[in-house]
Each structure stands twice: as C-alpha cells, then as structure tokens.
Chain A
C-alpha cells in the first residue's frame, strides 16, 4: 500500500495567515492526489483534485501543487471557516489511501 504522510499533524494560525500543509507519498503517484477538508461531525469536503485543480465552488485562496511524491496545500489567507482538519488522498492505485490529517486550529 502507498503510505501518505502529512506534516505537520497540527498547526495553530491566525485569521489572515498563509498556511501550507505538506503531503508525501511513499512512492511516486504522478499527480493523482486529492485534498479534502473535514469539520467535526461532518463528511469530508472535496477541495482539490489531480494535485492542483480546484473543485468547483471552492474559494480561490485554496491552492495545491506538486507531483511525484511531494505535494502541498496552501491557504493564502486563512478565514474563520477554514479551521478544520485537512486530508490528502492518493488515487494512483488500490487501496486508495489517505494521509493522517492536519488539524488547523485557531491561534
């Protein structure tokens, strides 16, 4: 199975901060990398697919980059509604695996 490792596991930030989350795959996954946002008690929300394509309706302050084994999710200016846990997920092969999550908390 492909292991997905996110860093950091958690971070504290203020509204307006630029936030970057890293996701590393245990082998090359080309650009088959998706990002989700999850709030407590809710289903994940789809943010980005194929590493850098923004899902329809997702604010442009979210962006993704990377290919191969190293990927990043960036929030350019953190908003109050962005405090949540973020997961990366590879869809390169089966089983499709997720990172362990990065919790973004209010500083």
Chain B
C-alpha cells in the first residue's frame, strides 16, 4: 500500500541548514507530486511548496524562496526538502504529502519530521 516515510527528528543551531527526506513506496513515485507542509508547535498548517518527481520541477511559496530547495532521487523514490538559514521560527514538524496534481490534495502523508532550532 502507498506509504511515505520521513527521516527522523533533527536539532539544529540557528543559521544552519536541515534536510528532511521522504521515501515513497507502494506506488509509482514519478506519477505524483510531493508537497511539503509544516506545522509549528501548537499552530496550524503552512504550505511550503511542491516538487514534481517526474520532471524535477518545483514551485515554492514566496515566503521560503531563496531558503528552501526541494529535490528528488528517483532511483530510490525519495524526495528531499532542505531549508537553510534556520531560525527559531523554523522549529516545526515538517510533513511531506502526495498529490495527484500540482494543487495540493494530500491523499497520503508522511508521519512528520520534527526540526528543532535552538542554540
């Protein structure tokens, strides 16, 4: 069955970068978009952007432009989200979600990866 499994929790210092992975299984990885959504502690959901695993094309929320990079490795059905120049405001759970189209319809989600930014 379809599944997205994300990498584990990370603790980073301000100014550092973090890379979160999202490994897909049970479906054709290149047939679906991967979106990234984050959730700060006790807060709502925030969309960050998507990657098309087939083409490698990306679309980022303007808020994260210049700081976020989404990539993929089709040989291992894995998508990555790298966020640089971290601040405490980036402390959040980061989710990947699968969607059949560029517009987010997240039918399958990863379990989430907690990123803590602290000095």
Contacts and interface: CB of A to CB of B under 8 A. Distances in A.
Contacts of B106: 34, 36, 44, 46
Interface residues of A, number: 22
A55 B45 CA distance: 20
Interface string A86-101: 0101011011111111
A62 interface: no
A87 B59 contact: no
A91 B35 CA distance: 12
B19 to A, nearest CB: 20
Given A43-B112, A95-B62, A95-B63, A49 B45 contact: no
A87 B44 contact: yes
Interface in A13-30: none
A98 B46 contact: yes
A98 B45 contact: yes
Say which size band chain B's interface belongs to: 20 to 34
Contacts of A36: 45, 106
Contact of B104 (A45, A55, A89, A100): A89
B85 interface: no
Contact of A95 (B47, B109, B111, B112): B47
B46 A43 contact: no
Given A95-B62, A95-B63, A46 B105 contact: yes
Interface of A: 32, 34, 36, 38, 43-46, 49, 55, 87, 89, 91-92, 94-101
